[in-house]
Amino acid sequence: MKTEQVLHSNTPQSGKERILLVGSSGGHLAQLLSLQPWWQDHERAWVTFSTEDAKSNLQAEMDVTWAYSPTTRNIPNLLRNAGLAVSVLRRFKPTVVVSTGAGSALPFFVTAKAMGISTVYIEVFDRVESSTMTGRLCRPFSDLMLVQWMDQLGLYRDAHLVGRLL
Percent of the chain with pLDDT over 70: 91
Task: Sort strands 144-147 and 64-67 into parallel, antiparallel or unpaired.
Answer: unpaired
105-125 pLDDT per residue, tens = 999 999 999 999 999 999 998
DSSP string across 29-61:
HHHHHTTHHHHTTSEEEEEEE--HHHHHHTTT-
User: Please, is 53 exposed, middle or buried when counting C-beta atoms within 10 Å of its C-beta (0-12, 13-18, 19+)?
Assistant: middle
pLDDT attached to residue 16: 83
- C-alpha to C-alpha distance for 143 and 137, rounded to whole angstroms: 13
pLDDT attached to residue 125: 82
What is the pLDDT of the chain when averaged over all its residues? 90
pLDDT for 1 beyond 50 = no
Categorize the per-residue pLDDT at 4 as very low, low, confident or very high, splitting at 50, 70 and 90.
low
Q: Is the pTM of this model over 0.85?
A: yes
CATH of domain 3-161: 3.40.50.2000
pLDDT for 8 beyond 60 = no
25-71 pLDDT per residue, tens = 999 999 999 999 999 999 999 999 999 999 999 999 999 999 999 88
DSSP state of 68: P
pLDDT attached to residue 128: 85
Distances (CA, A) of 91 to 41, 63, 65, 159: 20, 11, 12, 30
pLDDT attached to residue 9: 46
